[in-house]
Amino acid sequence: DAKTTQPPSMDCAEGRAANLPCNHSTISGNEYVYWYRQIHSQGPQYIIHGLKNNETNEMASLIITEDRKSSTLILPHATLRDTAVYYCIVRAPGDNMLTFGGGTRLMVKP
Amino acid sequence: KAGVTQTPRYLIKTRGQQVTLSCSPISGHRSVSWYQQTPGQGLQFLFEYFSETQRNKGNFPGRFSGRQFSNSRSEMNVSTLELGDSALYLCASSLPVDGPYRTGELFFGEGSRLTVL
């Protein structure tokens, strides 16, 4: 079973911020929160990861709650090319046996 | 820097045949993992190889096997194909863990789409 819970789908207007939530209430102390996205029929693309501090890179920001039981991926200015399935995963360093849930299908609309 | 390369990208087989898929990891990456993606089951872990040794294996029958070569390239094989083996097979590679900021994140290839008729 997946260790994370995400809404199955979300819509976002082009140019607006997309905020994708993820619950991971059973996360362990050494597990990181990772986000990947998969554009139709392509391989999952790494977006960002974090342990307990908020993180930002050129693609997105990751906000992790203080108790680490949930997080939010923020795409600051969504474009049509951000339409994809977004997966939130918890993972211990070096653990490559990832458990993917159903993810959130983000639809960015003009 | 070249990404993870998978070949072939598309292939069609018939039931009972076998198939071999190839994966070349990112240069310097020694760990290779394989995943199967189907509409019904989503993304599922198949197995992981590190330094030519299988390190982990998912819950798949023995018809699914793999290996890794000394140059870190990996192959997976599915024998006696069934209709349900039709899927996108994804390979991912990663660096070893090194400190709090290099946690060995996985980088995926574009996949090999197998259709079994």
Contact residues on chain A for B44, CB-CB shorter than 8 A: 100
Name the strands in the sheet holding A70-75, side by side, starting at the edge strand that comes first in the sequence.
A18-23, A70-75, A61-64, A55-56
The tokens 């190839």 sit on which residue?
B22
Chain B interface, mutation test: which of A36, A47, A96, most B Cβ atoms within 10 Å?
A96
* B103/A94 touch (CB, cutoff 8 Å), yes or no: yes
Mean pLDDT by 10 residues, chain A (110 residues): 88 97 93 93 91 93 96 97 96 84 95
* B108/A44 touch (CB, cutoff 8 Å), yes or no: yes
Q: According to the model, what pLDDT value does residue B103 have?
A: 66
CB contact B82 to A (< 8 Å):
no
What span, in angstroms and rounded, lies between the C-alpha atoms of A46 and A72? 15
Check pLDDT > 60 for residue B100: no
Q: According to the model, what pLDDT value does residue B102 have?
A: 64
pLDDT in tens, B15-51: 999 999 999 999 988 899 999 999 888 899 999 999 8
B99 band by pLDDT with thresholds 50, 70 and 90: low
Q: According to the model, what pLDDT value does residue B60 have?
A: 96
Closest CB to A97 among B45, B103, B105: B45
Q: According to the model, what pLDDT value does residue A96 have?
A: 83
